[in-house]
Amino acid sequence: MAWQILASGWDLMDREIFFRAGLAIIGSAMLIAIFAPFLTAYAPDEFCGMPLSEPSSDHLLGTNDLGQDIFSRLIYGTRATLIIGFLGALIGVATGTLIGTVAGYYGGRTDEVISRFMDVMMTIPAFPLLLVLSVLLSPGIYVISLLMGLLGGSHSGRVIRSQVLSIAETNHILGSRALGLSDAYIMARHILPNIMPLITVKYVFSAQAFMLMGVGLGFLGIGDVSVIDWGQMINHAYSSGAFALGMWWWIGPPGLAVTVLSIGLAMIGFGLEERLNPRLSHRNVEATA
């Protein structure tokens, strides 16, 4: 009986509500990132309190081992996380769209070559490669975003290629070619708008993945030390023995923050996907054969 109430409650929590909640979360995060100075009492690098003190009214999340206010660092850290996520996803999806569209549109030899390339890119483990490259380049957040985007472009590239392949054969496109319109024009003006929904969904999920990876990389000690990064906060906590001391106010918040953002993006992504691809939605029980 209770199970039924709970389950029907879930059903009420429609994808639509999820979607809006997700937007609210990400929207708030963006606002927090922009208005960080107004939301915090201290500068994030300021040595403003007793080291390792617990949360109090002065310091909402206590202080770290250098006496810096954790709450401020958390707020300011939103910026790096969002930048890595959104910029990385932008580069990734742009790359994927470019090679996927070219492959799907031209077909034949071009498609074969590009597809092989994408296959190889997807087989080579991107994360370990990223680690190797980071030793070589000692990258800041922008270069990290670039690397992640380029390495991850093939994922979106594959899916986009499939869709473009099916669109490219439609009468609409064939007609445009017959009219003598240039390939670049057709790809930009006719094909691109049709795959926009797919691109958007891919962008949201990529942003989620890259955001998580970015914080993860910060945790591993890769990243710009001059930039405040949630991952680096966790790393700092880890190497200061905060785990053993159970200092949850230092270890917890950065991880929690990125988790919340990740959930927000996931809700947006799934909400969009439901709207755009009803075949996989939970409502459709009809057999398609």
* Residues binding other proteins (CB under 8 A): 4, 6-8, 10-11, 13, 18, 119-120, 123-125, 127-129, 131-136, 208, 212, 215-216, 219-222, 234, 238, 243-244, 246, 248, 251-252, 255-256, 258-259, 262-263, 265-267, 270, 280, 282-289
Residue 191, amino acid: I
CA distance 193 to 162: 15
CB-based contact 117:57 (threshold 8 Å) = no
Compute the least distance from the CB of residue 191 to other proteins, in Å: 26
Nearer to other proteins, 135 or 184 (CB): 135
Compute the least distance from the CB of residue 30 to other proteins, in Å: 18
Nearer to other proteins, 116 or 189 (CB): 116
Residue 157 is encoded by which pair of tokens? 């590239």
Compute the least distance from the CB of residue 208 to other proteins, in Å: 7
Which three-class secondary structure state does DSSP give residue 69?
strand
CA distance 278 to 285: 11
Nearer to other proteins, 64 or 134 (CB): 134
CA distance 137 to 130: 10
Nearer to other proteins, 47 or 127 (CB): 127
Nearer to other proteins, 1 or 11 (CB): 11
Helices of type H across the chain: 2-12, 15-34, 36-39, 70-106, 108-123, 126-137, 141-168, 171-178, 183-186, 192-219, 230-239, 242-245, 248-276
Place of tokens 């988790």: 259
Q: Which residues lie below 8 Å from residue 14, measured CB to CB, with a gap of 6+?
A: none
Nearer to other proteins, 191 or 267 (CB): 267
Residue 99 is encoded by which pair of tokens? 């090679």
Compute the least distance from the CB of residue 220 to other proteins, in Å: 6
Nearer to other proteins, 173 or 223 (CB): 223
Compute the least distance from the CB of residue 70 to other proteins, in Å: 15
Angle, CA of 199, 156 and 148, to the nearest 5°: 110
Compute the least distance from the CB of residue 52 to other proteins, in Å: 16
Compute the least distance from the CB of residue 258 to other proteins, in Å: 7
